Amino acid sequence: MGEKDKLARFEQVILPHLDAAYNLARWLTRNEDDAKDMAQEAYLRAFKFFDAFRGVDGRAWLLTIVRNTCYTWLQQNRAHDITTMFDEEIHSADSDTSNPATLVLQSADHEILRQALDELPVEFREVVVLRDLEDFSYKEIAEIANIPAGTVMSRLARARERLKQVLSNRLKKEA
């Protein structure tokens, strides 16, 4: 395959997933400019390894590369983000398992929820993004994030628990 043909095919198969690539990069880097850089770098890497792409799902393949590109960047530039542990104290303090309050979302909750998601540790943030924004299955997420499917489920559970908690805390403050 000539370079020209390769590029044409790459743009046809992989470029349509630019929004997905940017969205993941944006949630992982939490910054617009860095997300652009990561998306660009990921696309260049994807093109380089495009000969090895045999899969059907270009989006999952691309997002694996985006994720790896972002993690490399995070390790070099945001080491703190990677090592941030899940705050178990807040998390386990008042689990709604014992007494689930009815969530009634208001327009202001939207921003609260966004911020709560943004503040989740990166490995929890990414499973929510891949599941709820990209609609990948647990199996696909497991492959993209290179973790067991059971870990995908447990991380999702903890992440969602946290988000619900943030929202119910808001309800409590109002009450």
Partner 1 sequence: MNCKEAQNLINGYVDGELDLVRNLEIEHHIQECALCTQSYKNQQLLRNEIKTGSFYFKAPADLQRRIQLSLRKATKAEGRAWVLPKWWFNIAAPMAAAAVMVLALVPFLRGPSADDLLAREIVSSHVRSLMASHLADVPSSDQHTVKPWFAGKVNFSPPVEDLAKQGFPLIGGRLDYLDNRPVAALIYQRQKHFINLFIWPSESDSAVETKTVSRQGYNLSHWTRSGMTYWAASDLNNAELQEFVQLLQNQTSPTS
User: Residue 131 interacts with partner 1 (CB under 8 A)?
Assistant: yes
Strand runs labelled E in the chain: none
If you write DSSP's letter for every residue of 102-127 in order, what string do you get? Answer: PP---TTHHHHHHHHHHHS-HHHHHH
Using CB under 8 A, pick the residue from 123, 138, 147, 171 that binds partner 1. 138
Selected range binding partner 1 among 29-37, 56-64, 72-80, 82-90, rule: CB under 8 A = 29-37
Residue 79 or 129: the one with the smaller Cβ distance to partner 1 is 129
- Residue 97 binds partner 1 (CB under 8 A): yes
Distance, CA of 127 to CA of 153 (rounded, Å): 9
Size of the site for partner 1 (CB under 8 A): 49
Kindly state whether residue 10 participates in binding partner 1, applying the rule CB under 8 A: yes
Report if residue 91 touches partner 1, rule: CB under 8 A.
no
- Our finding on whether 105 is near partner 1 (CB under 8 A) is yes
Which of residues 57 and 83 has its CB atom nearest to partner 1 in the complex?
A: 57
Choice between 6 and 172, CB closer to partner 1: 6
Measure the CA–CA gap between 15 and 2, rounded to whole angstroms.
18
In the complex, least distance from residue 163 CB atom to partner 1, rounded to whole angstroms: 6
Task: Name the CA dihedral angle for 58, 16, 44, 57, rounded to a multiple of 10 degrees.
Answer: 0
Dihedral sign, Cα of residue 146, residue 147, residue 152, residue 153: positive
Q: Is the separation of the CB atoms in 55 and 15 below 8 Å?
A: no
